[in-house]
């Protein structure tokens, strides 16, 4: 009986990494404490150890130094958030400064013991600071907060719809559907889109170059209104005058008669009419002084 020997397959050579090198960083990689945190952004450094140290330190120079280091590490994130608000009437430099201020507040207010990542606390803090800056400093006139909110929602909906493939203009109904607002609210938001700063009265209307300005559309003051207001203000005082005094004033200032004509109508001398008018006018000036002053103030 013969036996057949099956040749053995050559042993497969495998490379194994020494156990003590499994957790070592790759050559040239940053230290483990500087690795990025679990974030969708590349500008989110891992500063957990620094925040733990800050929480343990008392107020003083060392704690301030760590806060400055952490703030500098997260500054690119604040600058990225600020860039998202460009083109809204504020310079990029000012927006960056406002975002940095929000970051400083976030670093000072963050508590690592709550168990939340710093980014989840810092982002709304920085964004809130930027939005407060727009609300408090960029509106040239007082605008209700509700109107500002409508403006932001309409602006976001229009930016989303402008990215469509077709070139159809965005209508009011589409904005209402995209923003979840009523048509009236959309109109209010559209009216506030360009209302950060009021137009100058010297701003030209249109592009015709004819020099027609916004101020040219305003009407002028009608002097007749002042006359009507004054007449209505003095009417009660005139009605309290004696009948003869009322008649003299009526003939002189409403019928525009001369003193001689009034004297002939009343059967007195012209001198008596002159003295009578002087006395009536003097009394009226004393009684009407506070009334006319109130009318002028209005």
Per the structure, the complete domain to which residue 293 belongs is given by 228-297
Q: Which residues pair with 204 in a beta bridge?
A: 213
Higher pLDDT, 63 or 18: 63
What DSSP string describes 188-207?
A: HHHHTTT-SSPPPTTPBPSS
Q: Which residues pair with 183 in a beta bridge?
A: none
Question: What tens digit of pLDDT does each residue of 246-256 get?
Answer: 899 889 988 88
98, part of any domain? yes
Question: What tens digit of pLDDT does each residue of 179-204 get?
Answer: 888 989 888 888 777 665 566 677 77
CATH code of the domain covering residue 252: 1.20.140.160
Q: How many CA atoms lie within 13 A of 4 on its CB side?
A: 1
Higher pLDDT, 190 or 260: 260
Q: Are residues 234 and 274 in the same domain?
A: yes
2, part of any domain? no
Whether residue 25 has pLDDT greater than 50: no
Whether residue 79 has pLDDT greater than 90: yes
Tokens of 80: 């990225």
221, part of any domain? no
70, part of any domain? yes
Q: What is the mean pLDDT of the chain?
A: 77
Whether residue 21 has pLDDT greater than 50: no
| pTM (predicted TM-score) | 0.42
Percent of the chain with pLDDT over 90: 26
49, part of any domain? yes
Residue where one domain finishes, among candidates 115, 138, 161: 138
| Range with top average pLDDT, 5-9, 126-130, 158-162, 293-297 | 126-130
Tokens of 296: 């002028």
Could you give the C-alpha distances from 67 to 42, 47, 54, in angstroms and in order? Answer: 21, 10, 7
Q: Are residues 46 and 121 in the same domain?
A: yes
Could you give the C-alpha distances from 168 to 158, 165, 277, in angstroms and in order? Answer: 12, 9, 77
Q: Which residues pair with 213 in a beta bridge?
A: 204
User: What's 85's DSSP letter?
Assistant: T
* Region class of 143: left (phi > 0), else alpha (psi between -120 and 50), else beta: beta
Banded pLDDT at 213 (limits 50, 70, 90) = confident
Whether residue 99 has pLDDT greater than 90: yes
Tally the domains of the chain: 3
Q: Are residues 78 and 116 in the same domain?
A: yes
75, part of any domain? yes
- How far apart, in whole angstroms, are the C-alpha atoms of residue 279 and residue 213? 52
5, part of any domain? no
CATH code of the domain covering residue 103: 1.20.120.1810
Could you give the C-alpha distances from 179 to 60, 219, 230, 245, 264, in angstroms and in order? Answer: 49, 39, 52, 71, 81
């Amino acid at each position: 009986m013969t036996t057949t020997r099956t040749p053995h397959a050559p042993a497969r050579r495998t490379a194994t990494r020494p156990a003590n090198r499994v957790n070592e960083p790759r050559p040239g990689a940053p230290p483990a404490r500087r690795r990025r945190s679990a974030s969708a952004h590349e500008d989110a450094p891992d500063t957990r150890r620094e925040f733990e140290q800050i929480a343990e330190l008392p107020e003083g120079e060392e704690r301030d130094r760590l806060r400055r280091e952490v703030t500098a590490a997260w500054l690119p994130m604040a600058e990225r958030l600020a860039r998202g608000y460009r083109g809204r009437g504020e310079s990029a430099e000012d927006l960056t400064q406002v975002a940095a201020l929000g970051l400083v507040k976030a670093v000072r207010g963050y508590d690592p013991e709550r168990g939340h990542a710093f980014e989840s606390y810092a982002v709304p803090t920085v964004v809130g600071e930027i939005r407060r800056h727009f609300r408090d400093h960029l509106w040239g006139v007082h605008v209700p907060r509700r109107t500002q909110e409508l403006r932001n929602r309409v602006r976001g909906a229009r930016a989303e719809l402008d990215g469509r493939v077709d070139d159809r203009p965005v209508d009011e109904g589409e904005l209402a559907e995209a923003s979840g607002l009523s048509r009236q609210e959309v109109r209010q938001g559209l009216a506030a889109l360009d209302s950060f700063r009021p137009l100058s009265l010297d701003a030209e209307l249109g592009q015709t170059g004819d020099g027609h300005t916004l101020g040219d559309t305003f009407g002028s003051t009608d002097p007749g209104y002042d006359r009507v207001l004054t007449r209505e203000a003095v009417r009660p005082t005139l009605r309290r005058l004696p009948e003869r005094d009322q008649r003299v004033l009526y003939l002189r200032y409403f019928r525009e008669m001369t003193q001689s004509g009034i004297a002939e109508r009343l059967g007195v001398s012209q001198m008596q009419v002159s003295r009578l008018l002087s006395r009536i006018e003097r009394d009226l000036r004393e009684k009407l002084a506070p009334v006319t002053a109130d009318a002028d103030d209005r």
